[in-house]
Amino acid sequence: MKNYLLLRAIRKDPIERFPVWLMRQAGRYMREYRDLRAREEDFLSFCKNVDLAVEVSLLPLRLLGVDAVIIFSDILVPLEALGVKVEFLEGEGPRLEWGGRISDLKKYDPQENAYVYEIIRRVKKAQDEVPVIGFAGAPFTLLSYLIEGGASRDFRKTKVFMWEREFDFNRLMEMLTDVVYQYLSRQIEAGADMVQVFDSWALHLGRSDYEEFVLPYVSELIEKLKERFDTPVSYFFRGSSSFIDLVRETKADVLSVDWSVDLSLEALRTDKVLQGNLEPTVLYAKEDTVKFKTLELLRSIPRKTGYVFNLGHGLAPDMDFDKVKLLVETVKNYRIN
């Protein structure tokens, strides 16, 4: 087993610089991604084309020199395995269709997502310079896609469902927690060196709703994974400043946060490893600003904090590749003294 910088940072071993990877590091902002993307008509076929998905996964390692490869896929692929029709419409985002009753969903067979585990095995075989990150959507974020049928501004259907049909909400959350548990277990067995759970949409909830309806399931998911595997588990949750004191109590190894928290203060309150936090919008500013904001964040991290550099949310398609590269280089050149 290689002594990867990312894993050393997570174990809080002494490191000379902070590791860096970026959410959505393989995407449309890269010309090479767009060229490969053009080889498949629809996005899901692209995700299932193992040769292409492996190649895409490796682009950020080759072009940016990041310290980890996150496998190329999408959080919605396990929902397709439940019998949900999942489509990605140009400029509109995901659209999901299903009967709407829990009984309309198929029992999850993790083998339906076998291509994902194959991508992990192949990415590991293709290189051993950096660790491989597997991922899944968190139960609540997946549930919100099922209930809204796609993107939403205010998540009104999800919230009304949660408040008025608590029994069904809990049944669906239980089921999705088990789906994600099985799916991530298989990714770890295929060789993932870390897994990240993406809770992109919990930020729309009030704190007491997060505590009652989201936290118990995420906690259970992470606990079950940690009972079975040593592999580090990272939890990305937007709305970080509202929920971080609750999330600190989970068994997650890594808290992946948005830009609403001050990392220098957070580091004083937790022993957990912190990840993320740079506002992605910084990448729309000029080069000096990108460098300044990146260094400002790096300098704010107290010594002895386990920290992994990342953004507070993903890269966007209209970002400039050269600025992303400058960002990665700035982090890699920064020495911890």
Does residue 161 contact residue 123 with C-beta atoms inside 8 Å? no
In the bound state with ligand CP3, the residue whose beta carbon lies nearer, of 273 and 315, is: 315
Rounded least distance, CB 186 to ligand CP3, Å:
17
Question: Which residue's C-beta sits nearest to ligand CP3?
Answer: 200
13: how many CB neighbours lie within 10 A of its CB? 11
Catalytic residue flag (residue 128): no
Rounded least distance, CB 135 to ligand CP3, Å:
5
Rounded least distance, CB 206 to ligand CP3, Å:
20
Tokens of 140: 């609540």
Catalytic residue flag (residue 74): yes
CA distances from 180 to 92, 155, 220 (A): 26, 22, 11
Set 8, 17, 37, 121: catalytic member: 37
Per CB under 6 A, residues contacting ligand CP3 are 23-28, 37, 43, 70, 72, 74-76, 88, 93-94, 135, 198, 200, 314
Set 8, 17, 24, 248: catalytic member: 24
Which sign, positive or negative, has the C-alpha torsion 165, 149, 105, 103? positive
CA–CA separation, 248 and 253 (whole Å):
10
In the bound state with ligand CP3, the residue whose beta carbon lies nearer, of 267 and 328, is: 328
Catalytic residue flag (residue 28): yes
Set 4, 29, 67, 74: catalytic member: 74
Strand order in the sheet with 307-308: 69-70, 132-137, 194-199, 233-237, 254-257, 273-276, 307-308
Rounded least distance, CB 312 to ligand CP3, Å:
11
In the bound state with ligand CP3, the residue whose beta carbon lies nearer, of 9 and 96, is: 96
Rounded least distance, CB 103 to ligand CP3, Å:
25
Rounded least distance, CB 171 to ligand CP3, Å:
23
In the bound state with ligand CP3, the residue whose beta carbon lies nearer, of 70 and 244, is: 70
In the bound state with ligand CP3, the residue whose beta carbon lies nearer, of 89 and 160, is: 89
**In degrees rounded to 5, what are phi and psi of residue 19?**
-70, 155
CA distances from 152 to 8, 31, 33, 144, 319 (A): 39, 29, 27, 9, 23
Does residue 244 contact residue 255 with C-beta atoms inside 8 Å? yes
Instruction: Report the SS3 class of residue 202.
Output: helix
CA angle 115, 57, 289 (to 5 degrees): 150
Catalytic residue flag (residue 217): no
In the bound state with ligand CP3, the residue whose beta carbon lies nearer, of 184 and 267, is: 184
- Chain-centroid distance of CA 330 in Å reads 23
Rounded least distance, CB 331 to ligand CP3, Å:
17
Set 17, 28, 121, 248: catalytic member: 28
Set 33, 108, 117, 145: catalytic member: 145
In the bound state with ligand CP3, the residue whose beta carbon lies nearer, of 49 and 300, is: 49
Which sign, positive or negative, has the C-alpha torsion 13, 67, 134, 188? negative
276 sits in the region (left: phi over 0; alpha: psi -120 to 50; else beta) called: left
Amino acid identity of residue 207, one-letter, is: R
Catalytic residue flag (residue 24): yes
Catalytic residue positions, numbered:
24, 28, 37, 74, 145
